[in-house]
Amino acid sequence: MALIVQKYGGTSVGSPDRIKNVARRVAKFKALGNQVVVVVSAMSGETNRLVALAHEIQKHPDPRELDVIISTGEQVTIGLLSMALKEHGVKAKSYTGAQVKILTDSAHTKARIVSIDEQNIMGDLEKDCVVVVAGFQGVDEHGNITTLGRGGSDTTGVAIAAALRADECQIYTDVDGVYTTDPRVVPEARRLKSITFEEMLEMSSMGSKVLQLRSVEFAGKYKVKLRVLSSFEEEGEGTLITVEDNDKMEQAIISGIAFNRDEAKITVMGVPDKPGIAYQILGPVSDANIDVDIIIQNVGEDGATDFSFTVHRNEYAKAMDILKSKVQPHIGAREVIGDSRAAKVSVVGVGMRSHVGIASKMFRTLAEEGINIQMISTSEIKISVVIDEKYLELAVRVLHKAFGLDQEEA
Ligand code: ASP
Ligand code: MG
């Protein structure tokens, strides 16, 4: 007998028929002798609808009240699914986050889980009950309802699996796993049988569409066996997200090609080459809550250097404005230039730790297509380049092929 946490996303519970389908699957799983805890999202579109509703009353909704509103979507689905399970003759009981007692901090709309009281759930499981828990929500120490950030039901699922020491946390969604890259860009993309937590985090541009990244961090930290599966297919083992397996010789060196279209590049030219400059450039940018990704500073020459970094395209104009109006006159830089049409492509794989030549292969492949590399950044298991957005698809395709990720033709 195994203890399994299954999480079903919004599309999987998007209509009464789909909820009945989930109930049928859960009932089948239960009949095999497993203990099952089900975590559900709100029906698809519901959270957006609730957010929009709140915005019709207040331009900047009060965070505490917003959480009261947007947590209701999940309360509906736990009730509906529990009823559907009972229709299958399965004992079931629903719990809101507060009823379980999923204790969080008080950071409304982006709260973090502090602890989970597993007693009620365990008691019900022992009574042969399927426990249905509302995702995305918790309660703070003062009894306020909190939510965990958009996509937060994944984190609820993983956190409950960790608290119950479940054998596996299965995330059912509308895709059948994690792919080597976006199949819309590369039709030859393959589903990965497994991927490590670290790779999954580095693949964030694709990974985050499948799982809330915080849930992956959580699973890595608490060593929860995490699997992504399709809720629409009866068979299929999905993708297992797991710790690195050093014994696995046949493990691919590269797991995937991630990319991000919405980058913008900014260069501050001719900045004085002296201590404190990076801080004086990026301090005001971060004070404006603008995330900076790749940062490059050149070697200085004649006491001056160039300083480049990337930001999300949506924040490009704001960042340029801050740099031109505040930073440039303050530090005495020559010029601020930028390009809002940049894109980032990354090659990701834990195999990089033990293999050389990945970077040169990547650069050669891009050179052969005449694609100019504007910036490079590396981590232990990832190499990213910034290129002109118009070559993005081409770059992803040729790299996918060069690293042997294309699906073999049947
Ligand atoms: N319903 C919430 C959202 O749409 C949480 C989730 O689906 O994971 O973000
Ligand atoms: Mg989701």
Average pLDDT over residues 28-45: 96
User: What's the CA-to-centroid distance between 115 and ligand 1, angstroms?
Assistant: 20
Identify the residue whose C-alpha is closest to ligand 1 atom 6. Answer: 151
pLDDT at 123: 97
Q: Relative to the alpha carbon of 72, which ligand is closest? A: 1
pLDDT at 246: 60
Q: Judge whether residue 248 has pLDDT over 70.
A: no
User: What's the CA-to-centroid distance between 217 and ligand 1, angstroms?
Assistant: 18
CA separation for the pair 72, 70 (Å, rounded): 5
Give residue-wise pLDDT tens across range 130-149: 999 999 999 999 999 999 99
Give residue-wise pLDDT tens across range 297-327: 888 888 899 999 999 999 999 999 999 999 9
Q: Judge whether residue 249 has pLDDT over 60.
A: no
Is any atom of ligand 1 closer than 6 Å to the C-beta of 151? Answer: yes
Q: Which ligand 1 atom minimizes the distance to the CA of 48?
A: 4
pLDDT at 320: 97
Quote the pTM value: 0.84
Could you tell me the residue ranges of all domains in the chain?
3-174, 257-402
Query: Can you list the alpha helix ranges (DSSP code H) found in 288-357?
Result: 316-322, 328-331
CATH 3.30.2350.10 given to domain 257-402? no
Is any atom of ligand 1 closer than 6 Å to the C-beta of 215? Answer: no
- Interacting residues of 400 by C-beta distance below 8 A, sequence separation 6+: 180, 181, 186, 188, 189, 257, 406
Question: In the CATH scheme, what is the homologous superfamily, with its name and number, of domain 3-174?
Answer: Acetylglutamate kinase-like (3.40.1160.10)
pLDDT at 344: 94
Going by pLDDT thresholds of 50, 70 and 90, the confidence category of residue 274 is confident
Is any atom of ligand 1 closer than 6 Å to the C-beta of 150? Answer: yes
Give residue-wise pLDDT tens across range 55-105: 999 999 999 999 999 999 999 999 999 999 999 999 999 999 999 999 999
Q: Which ligand 1 atom minimizes the distance to the CA of 153?
A: 8
Q: Judge whether residue 253 has pLDDT over 60.
A: yes
Is any atom of ligand 1 closer than 6 Å to the C-beta of 338? Answer: no
CA separation for the pair 227, 166 (Å, rounded): 12
Identify the residue whose C-alpha is closest to ligand 1 atom 4. Answer: 47
Is any atom of ligand 1 closer than 6 Å to the C-beta of 95? Answer: no
Q: Judge whether residue 266 has pLDDT over 80.
A: yes
Q: Judge whether residue 351 has pLDDT over 80.
A: yes
* Side-chain-side CA neighbours of residue 135 (13 Å): 31
Percent of the chain surpassing pLDDT 70? 97
